Amino acid sequence: MALGRKMLLLAALCGLAWSQTGLTTIQDTLYRADGTRFNGTLTINWSTFDAINIGTIVQQSTTVQVVNGNLLLQLVPNATATPPANVYTVHYQSDGYQQFTETWTVPVGTRPLTVSQVRTGTQTSSGGGGGSSGNQTTIPESDVVGLQADLAQRPLMGVGYGNNAVAVVDGNGNLVTAVGTPGQCVFVDGTTGVCVEPTYVDAETPGGIVNGTNNTFTLMNTPLGSSMLLYRNGLYMTPAFDYTLIGSTITFAVGAVPQPGDTLIASYRVDTSASGNIIGFTTGGTPVQVNTIPAQVICSAAGTSTSVTGWTSLGGCDIPASGLSAGDRIEVRFTFAHSGAQSGTTSGFNLQVNWGNTTILARAGSTQGVAVTGRADAGIVSTGAQVSIESWGTVLPFLPGILNAPVQLGVQVDFRAALLLVGPDSVTLTNYTVLRYPAH
């Protein structure tokens, strides 16, 4: 009698200890189809989830040995886990290979549960040892928590859906094919139309008489937005201060009207769609579209200064051999400033622009010269480069020129300056830009 009471007390204590862990006990006897008891292992996998009474359960797996059909283990309840629909995946292995797989959903329980009480689905598995397959149970979509809601959120193929084309979302949230023709663009609202492609117009001379009184000039195209850069004698003109632009018409402000001998140059972007073709030349009165290619900026920077009488490099740009293919065009723009021109002790100065070993510009400035600017265009040919250059200054007159430069594997454009006398003034390369227009 005493021994029986002790066994009952021990069983009660064990049950109390198991129930206090917050785990659910799964206990069962497993059989094979021929009535013999199952021998093997169960490998149980799970993803990370949060249990109500325990906390975060990290993703891991465990293996349970089943001997003579006896299964006994404890698992954290996942029926009320976060995220929902978290299941245990159980793989049955026996006779050297995996036989089948099923999923368990374990509720909170104080009494042991059988496998049939936690099983939520099975699927066929097979492995080595000659291979084998088991029966497969179909799981209705409604039995998978959240599946139907997730499927309802995915876009469906609409009536206008087609393959090998751009898909857009219609007003009902379905996928349909964008309606259009090859070469058109698809816009953010799903419609199609002619593509708006910006193209560059460089160094255009606005139309109009430069006589000191005319303040209205016309471009051949309407610039996109505020893309226009307007230069007068190489100096940048400020929009809404020096001039206004309405459509393709430039109107200069009082005090900024171009004077006889002034040079105007405009560069801008235009719309090359059907409604915005670039108009450049006419043939028999019929406008002809001009195809242009955007320039590639090789170098653009501010240079340095010098206050000595020896030649000093104030800036330079290396053009690689790949940028000197026949048919390419290289454009060089530069601006020098001479300080101290108001002082009586200043010196004159000399300037040079070199294309590799060839000097393409050499000018001498006086003590009153405040600034010098200019540009050079080098047309690349198989025998080298044909360079045209023009320069002018506040005192220096306009001077054009053209010369040939030999073939070179890569070229450095070098800007140099020197004072004639040592003094308190200096010469500064305020800015230089080297652009490449590739052949096409």
**Does the pLDDT value for residue 16 go beyond 90?**
no
Give the 3-state secondary structure of residue 313: strand
Dist CA 437 CA 414 (whole Å): 20
Q: Is 277 left (phi over 0), alpha (psi -120 to 50) or beta?
A: beta
Dist CA 81 CA 87 (whole Å): 9
**Does the pLDDT value for residue 295 go beyond 80?**
no
**Does the pLDDT value for residue 256 go beyond 60?**
yes
**Does the pLDDT value for residue 2 go beyond 70?**
no
Dist CA 332 CA 388 (whole Å): 10
Q: What is the pLDDT of residue 230?
A: 94
Determine contact, residues 176/167, Cβ cutoff 8 Å.
yes
| Architecture of the 296-437 domain | Sandwich (2.60)
Strand partners, 376: 332, 389
Decide which of 196 and 379 is more confident. 379
Task: Describe the chain by its helix, strand, coil percentages, rounded to 5.
Answer: 10, 45, 45
Percent of the chain residues topping a pLDDT of 90 = 40
Q: Mean pLDDT across the stretch 183-212?
A: 81
Percent of the chain residues topping a pLDDT of 70 = 83
Single out the residue of 64, 211, 229 nearest to residue 219, CA to CA: 229
Dist CA 191 CA 169 (whole Å): 11
Q: Mean pLDDT across the stretch 160-173?
A: 81
Q: What is the pLDDT of residue 132?
A: 41
Q: Mean pLDDT across the stretch 78-105?
A: 86
| 101, containing H or E segment | strand 97-104
Q: What is the mean pLDDT of the chain?
A: 82
Could you give phi then psi for residue 241, rounded to 5 degrees? -120, -55
Decide which of 148 and 344 is more confident. 148
For the chain, give the number of residues.
440
Q: How confident is the model at residue 138 (pLDDT cuts 50, 70, 90)?
A: low
Q: Mean pLDDT across the stretch 342-346?
A: 59
- Neighbour count for residue 296 (Cβ, 10 Å): 13
Rg (C-alpha) for the chain, rounded Å, is 42
Q: What is the pLDDT of residue 352?
A: 95
**Does the pLDDT value for residue 6 go beyond 60?**
no
Cα–Cα distances in Å, from 379 out to 201, 238, 331, 406?
Answer: 18, 31, 9, 12
Taking the model in full, what pTM does it have? 0.38
DSSP string of 149-196? HHHHHS--B-TT--SSS-EEE-TTS-EEEPP--TT-EE-TTS-EE---
Q: What is the pLDDT of residue 345?
A: 57
Dist CA 404 CA 385 (whole Å): 6
**Does the pLDDT value for residue 388 go beyond 90?**
yes
Q: What is the pLDDT of residue 66?
A: 95
Question: Which of 12-21, 171-180, 246-255 tops mean pLDDT?
Answer: 246-255
Tokens standing for residue 10: 């021990």
What ranges do the domains of the chain cover? 2-139, 198-289, 296-437
Q: Mean pLDDT across the stretch 404-425?
A: 86
Q: Mean pLDDT across the stretch 346-359?
A: 90
**Does the pLDDT value for residue 412 go beyond 70?**
yes
Q: Mean pLDDT across the stretch 111-116?
A: 93
Q: How confident is the model at residue 341 (pLDDT cuts 50, 70, 90)?
A: low
Dist CA 133 CA 131 (whole Å): 7
**With the CA atoms of 276, 280, 281 and 284 taken in that order, what torsion angle do they form, in degrees rounded to the nearest 10?**
20
**Does the pLDDT value for residue 284 go beyond 50?**
no
Determine contact, residues 437/295, Cβ cutoff 8 Å.
yes
**Does the pLDDT value for residue 363 go beyond 90?**
yes
